[in-house]
């Protein structure tokens, strides 16, 4: 079993806990997940058993850090991936978090909350971490959080954040299979155009003895991604 710890950081009022809560909720529908920080208050069982780790054999921990950089500075090497959550108006604060994350052995990605189409050019020109995902301005999300319930997004998924954490590099099916067979990658990411192709690609990996699972994304050109990996040893 592998462990994957992802952290969410950002300024006050950026919606960091909102994003962490939605990601943790989606993960909890797939597998057990441990949740640390304010986001844990939205779940009846914030801690998880390592027994149920989903098809990929990954035990997830979602860490919702306090606003600012102080708790991040004390994180050490405990995080595999850090997501900096900001609104479009807060993009100039991202370098402060980058400087701290540079001292950690962690990957870093950007998540933009309360996005509107008028911000697209500014986001495209932004010189900073790669964008993992953006979430549109949505009053129902704020209302749900205020009521202490997990927001539900219609026709929008948080799973791209999980993809970036596990394996951001995309390969085609043949390249991915070779990468696993030759030990060049421990986990591979294959874009798939439809649910039908996802089933076929996942089956091709499983027939070769690899673990595989399907993750949706919000891209307009394809439906999602199949991640495959060498099966972790049983413990």
CATH number of the CATH domain containing 217: 3.30.70
What's the confidence (pLDDT) of residue 65? Answer: 95
Tokens 């155009």 belong to 193
**Of 199, 200, 202, 208, whose CA–CA distance to 228 is shortest?**
202
143 located within any domain: yes
Structural domain count of the chain: 2
Pair 120, 138 in one domain = yes
User: Rounded CA gap, 89 and 77, in Å?
Assistant: 30
Residues 185 and 85 in one domain: no
Looking at the structure, do residues 104 and 37 belong to the same domain, yes or no? yes
**Model confidence at 200, in pLDDT bands (50, 70, 90)?**
very high
Residues 175, 198, single domain; the answer is yes
The boundaries of the domain holding residue 46 are: 2-160
With b for 16 or more beta-carbon neighbours within 10 A and e for fewer, the 109-131 pattern comes to: bbbbbbbeeebeeeeeebebbee
Q: What angle do CA 200, 206, 207 make, to 5 degrees?
A: 90
What's the whole-number mean pLDDT along residues 177-196?
94
Q: Is the pLDDT of residue 98 over 60?
A: yes
Size of the chain, expressed as the number of residues it contains: 235
pLDDT at 232: 67
CA 138 – CA 136 distance, rounded (Å): 6
What whole-number distance in Å separates Cα of residue 162 and Cα of residue 86? Answer: 18
d(CA 137, CA 116): 6
pLDDT attached to residue 219: 84
Residues 137 and 52 in one domain: yes
Q: If you search the block for the tokens 């591979």, which residue do you land on?
A: 188
The pLDDT tens digits of the residues spanning 20-45 come to 999 999 998 888 899 999 999 998 75
Cα dihedral 39→229→160→42 (10° resolution): -20
How confident is residue 13, by pLDDT bands cut at 50, 70 and 90?
Answer: very high
Judged against a pLDDT cut of 80, whether residue 104 lies above it is answered with yes
Judgement on whether residues 132 and 172 belong to the same structural domain of the protein: no
Rg of the chain, C-alpha, whole Å: 18
Can you give the pLDDT at residue 46?
45
Q: Quick one: which of 135, 168, 164, 147 has its CA closest to 22?
A: 135
**Structural domain contains residue 106:** yes
**49: confidence class by pLDDT, cuts 50, 70, 90:** low
Q: What is the pLDDT of residues 59-91, one digit of tens each?
A: 899 999 999 999 888 876 789 999 999 999 999
Residues 151-170 have a mean pLDDT of 88
């Amino acid at each position: 079993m592998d462990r994957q710890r992802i952290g969410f950081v950002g300024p006050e009022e950026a919606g960091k806990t909102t994003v962490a809560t939605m990601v943790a909720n989606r993960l909890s529908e797939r597998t057990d997940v441990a949740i640390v920080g304010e986001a844990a208050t939205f779940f009846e069982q914030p801690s998880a058993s390592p027994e149920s780790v989903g098809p990929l054999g990954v035990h997830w921990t979602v860490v919702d850090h306090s606003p600012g950089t102080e708790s991040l500075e004390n994180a050490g090497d405990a995080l595999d991936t850090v997501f900096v959550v900001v609104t479009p108006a807060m993009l100039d604060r991202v370098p402060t978090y980058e400087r701290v994350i540079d001292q950690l052995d962690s990957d870093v990605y950007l998540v933009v909350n309360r996005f509107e189409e008028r911000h697209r050019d500014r986001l495209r020109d932004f010189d900073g971490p790669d964008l993992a995902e953006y979430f549109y301005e949505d009053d129902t999300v704020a209302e749900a959080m205020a009521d202490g319930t997990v927001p539900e997004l219609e026709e929008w998924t948080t799973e791209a954040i999980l993809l970036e954490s596990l394996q951001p590099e995309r390969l085609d099916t043949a390249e991915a299979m070779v990468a696993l067979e030759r030990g060049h990658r421990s986990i591979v990411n294959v874009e798939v155009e439809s649910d039908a192709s996802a089933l076929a690609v996942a089956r091709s990996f499983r027939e070769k003895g690899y673990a595989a699972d399907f993750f949706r994304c919000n891209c307009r050109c394809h439906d999602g991604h199949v991640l495959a990996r060498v099966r972790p040893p049983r413990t």
